[in-house]
Structure 1
Amino acid sequence: MSSYAKELQVAQLAVQRAAILTKRVFHEKAKGTVSKDDKSPVTIGDFGAQALIISALKASFPDDEIVAEEEAAQLRQDANLRQTIWDLVKTAQLSDSAAEGLLGGGIKDEETMLTMIDYGNSKGGAKGRIWAIDPIDGTKGFLRGGQYAVCLALMVDGDVKVGVLGCPNLPIDDAAPLSGGMESGQTDEGRGVLFSGVLGQGATSRPLTTGVLATEKSISMRAITDIAAATFCESVEAGHSSHGDQAEIAKLLGITNPSVRMDSQAKYASIARGAGDIYLRLPVSATYQEKIWDHAAGDLIVREAGGAVTDIHGKPLNFSIGRTLADNKGVVAAPAAAHAQVLEVVQEVLAKK
């Protein structure tokens, strides 16, 4: 088996199983709601997906540390919410029995589920093997029926080695162009993609399925001969990235295509397979620090697809400091050949502020 082959297979199967759970949660619990109270669909999906992924990781790599977003204290105090999530986790495991032999024996009871969720309390850092999980990246996209991602990455001594993104509402067709309707109202038909990357081994996509993995295809970023023909991806929420600065950057680059707004690391996945070209996340706060689980998998997949990813100062994203990207500000992701040109304009625009 090639380097990190087992880690990749376990990560793919775990993310796929968790992504199927989130789809079930949306159809059974959400149905277009935009609520995010403590019993909201996103809360249920977050906990359930995190429990499934950590269970799979602990079965194969019991000594690895895990950085994840959720902790189980809320569930220990709320029996009804705990039961709801446990029922979904049981169903997810039973409906995905084809993967069970590779993912271990699964979660047997509610208490084990809570224990698994709480394994995500690592502080991160520059030493050892550490997994980073975002069980539902793109909360509002998930609730709208738009773009969200189930995200998992393995870091070894602070360097990302394996990245997997489950994007249930992206088109299966890698050649499908980005459109302005990506942020809501997506249907299951023809949608659901699992993206993967291993350092030095390239990036792939395959349809999301249940059980065994579908056949993969190699993906790569689109070669840009004229930067003016590029397409931007940006966050839906202005609170996540400065839309005004991005519009000015697009103007200076001569880009006239409308930017496509979507939530989550689906933006990384979209540019990695050439559906878009440039992803900018421009700082909106001097003090905000990005979370490592929001970028680790996407950063690797874009780089393995022929892209370059830095912050606004041109520094690579540093995942070795802890649970945040404390050493970085913002994100600039673009095809390697065009990255320097995009970065120069980003710095020019931000210098005026």
Structure 2
Amino acid sequence: MSYRKELKVAELAVQRATLLTQRVFHEKAKGTLSKDDKSPVTIGDFGAQALIIHAIRRNFPTDEIVGEEEASSLREDKDLSNQIWELVNTTKLDDEASEEQLGGSPKTEREMLQAIDAGQSAGGRHGRIWALDPIDGTKGFLRGGQYAVCLALIVDGHVKVGVLGCPNLPVDNSAPLSADVGDKGGEGRGVLFAAVLGSGAVSRPLSRGALQDSQPIHMREVTDIAQATFCESVEAGHSSHGDQAMIAKKLGIVKESVRMDSQAKYGSIARGAGDLYLRLPVRADYQEKIWDHAAGDLIVREAGGQVTDVEGRRLDFSQGRTLKENKGVVAAPKDVHEQVLDAVRSVLGSK
């Protein structure tokens, strides 16, 4: 299958959702709640999820969806629900044909809440399942840094389509990577990454209307691992910074690692702005969520990279809502992936 329609709908849906998140990003009050796991969620998360799920249901009504958010708290807080409805109801692409392709927006607040709640699939190894993170990197979103709108189609346990909307990354694929790259958004910012299995990966500028022209992206060739650029999570609770520093030392890397939130890290290394992305286990019982990795995993692999866990196993998206058969993530260009993996094993194995 070419997945041409799936890719087009996913790219347009993510692009429209990023417009909504950008409106919230520039507001001082973002309607923030705390979930049961103490992680934050904003009106941007809810609104983006509503728009994307509505588009999927209109175009692929029998597909399942694994989404990060659910709407029970909104049914208890009418004022917050009204805020989100106002956002959803007034966020549209400027291009009528693109809006028509997406099936418009939810017609009522009730329909919006139903869309948010339609992301409760258990996932699994059979059928067509969309994995959605409406705002990946909510803490980055709140602090004015990097975040991403993430969507992937998984078919029978394998990722077939992946799309990342990164509103604060530079459009220029050759822009040097630094921790503050694109913070606060601005001119020349906003990029859409996409890939279909077997067809390569591309980037294009985010827009307010129809999709802009794309260009192929590729991992950078690393001839000297000591000159590589590491990407890692900002939050120490997401990845072990101490282990990462030891791995960098073992590889002879002297550059300071670049810390940024969200799957913007996957997009950054896929286009060669960075080279390596490590997400190292912080505790034995932690299970990564599929929506945090599905799109980025495919985009990096289609750009010429390799993505495994710390034991060298491919990420397994057939196990439900989490990557319960995997521990951590190691993403790198194919030619040096094994070298990086050896260093990871050496450091983690010595603990």
* Structure 2 length-normalised TM: 0.96
Q: Determine if contact 2:40/2:139 at 8 Å carries over to the other structure.
A: no
**Which residue is equivalent to 1:346?**
344
Q: Determine if contact 2:40/2:138 at 8 Å carries over to the other structure.
A: no
**Which residue is equivalent to 2:244?**
246
Q: Determine if contact 1:155/1:161 at 8 Å carries over to the other structure.
A: yes
Q: How far, CA to CA, are the matches of 2:183 and 2:239 in structure 1?
A: 23
Q: How far, CA to CA, are the matches of 2:347 and 2:149 in structure 1?
A: 33
Q: Determine if contact 1:29/1:41 at 8 Å carries over to the other structure.
A: no
Once the two structures are superposed, residues 264-308 of structure 1 have per-residue CA deviations (whole angstroms, 9 ceiling, x without a partner) of: 000000000000000000000100000000000000000000000
Cα distance change, pair 133–96 in 1 and its aligned pair in 2 (3 A):
farther
Q: Determine if contact 2:270/2:300 at 8 Å carries over to the other structure.
A: yes
**Which residue is equivalent to 1:299?**
297
**Which residue is equivalent to 1:311?**
309
Q: How does 1:118-157 map to 2 (within 5 A)?
A: 118-157=117-156
Q: Determine if contact 2:163/2:295 at 8 Å carries over to the other structure.
A: yes
1:267 maps to amino acid = K
The answer for unaligned runs of 5 or more in structure 2 is: none
C-alpha displacement of 1:97: 4.1
Cα distance change, pair 53–277 in 1 and its aligned pair in 2 (3 A):
same
Q: Name the SS for the 1:251 alignment partner.
A: helix
Q: Determine if contact 1:30/1:143 at 8 Å carries over to the other structure.
A: no
Q: How far, CA to CA, are the matches of 1:266 and 1:28 in structure 2?
A: 22
Q: How far, CA to CA, are the matches of 1:156 and 1:81 in structure 2?
A: 35
**Which residue is equivalent to 1:51?**
50
Equivalent of residue 213 in structure 1, options 193, 202, 211: 211
**Which residue is equivalent to 1:74?**
73
C-alpha displacement of 1:96: 5.8
Q: Name the SS for the 1:28 alignment partner.
A: coil
Q: Name the SS for the 2:24 alignment partner.
A: helix
**Which residue is equivalent to 2:62?**
63
**Which residue is equivalent to 2:104?**
105
Q: How far, CA to CA, are the matches of 2:96 and 2:74 in structure 1?
A: 26
Once the two structures are superposed, residues 93-123 of structure 1 have per-residue CA deviations (whole angstroms, 9 ceiling, x without a partner) of: 3756452111113210101001111110100
Q: Name the SS for the 2:26 alignment partner.
A: helix
**Which residue is equivalent to 1:19?**
18
Q: Determine if contact 1:51/1:113 at 8 Å carries over to the other structure.
A: yes
**Which residue is equivalent to 2:88?**
89
Q: Determine if contact 2:93/2:210 at 8 Å carries over to the other structure.
A: no
C-alpha displacement of 1:258: 1.0
Q: Determine if contact 1:86/1:110 at 8 Å carries over to the other structure.
A: yes
Q: How far, CA to CA, are the matches of 2:213 and 2:183 in structure 1?
A: 27
Q: How does 1:220-299 map to 2 (within 5 A)?
A: 220-299=218-297
Q: Determine if contact 1:135/1:151 at 8 Å carries over to the other structure.
A: yes
Q: How far, CA to CA, are the matches of 2:258 and 2:238 in structure 1?
A: 15
2:119 maps to amino acid = G
**Which residue is equivalent to 1:199?**
197
Q: Name the SS for the 2:286 alignment partner.
A: coil
1:52 maps to amino acid = L
Q: How far, CA to CA, are the matches of 1:28 and 1:261 in structure 2?
A: 24
The answer for unaligned runs of 5 or more in structure 1 is: none
1:77 maps to amino acid = E
C-alpha displacement of 1:144: 1.1
**Which residue is equivalent to 1:10?**
9
Cα distance change, pair 178–36 in 1 and its aligned pair in 2 (3 A):
farther
* Structure 1 length-normalised TM: 0.95
Q: Percent identity?
A: 70
Q: Name the SS for the 1:150 alignment partner.
A: strand
Once the two structures are superposed, residues 220-253 of structure 1 have per-residue CA deviations (whole angstroms, 9 ceiling, x without a partner) of: 0000111111000000011110111111111111
Q: Name the SS for the 1:66 alignment partner.
A: strand
Cα distance change, pair 350–46 in 1 and its aligned pair in 2 (3 A):
same
Q: Name the SS for the 2:344 alignment partner.
A: helix
1:11 maps to amino acid = A
2:44 maps to amino acid = G
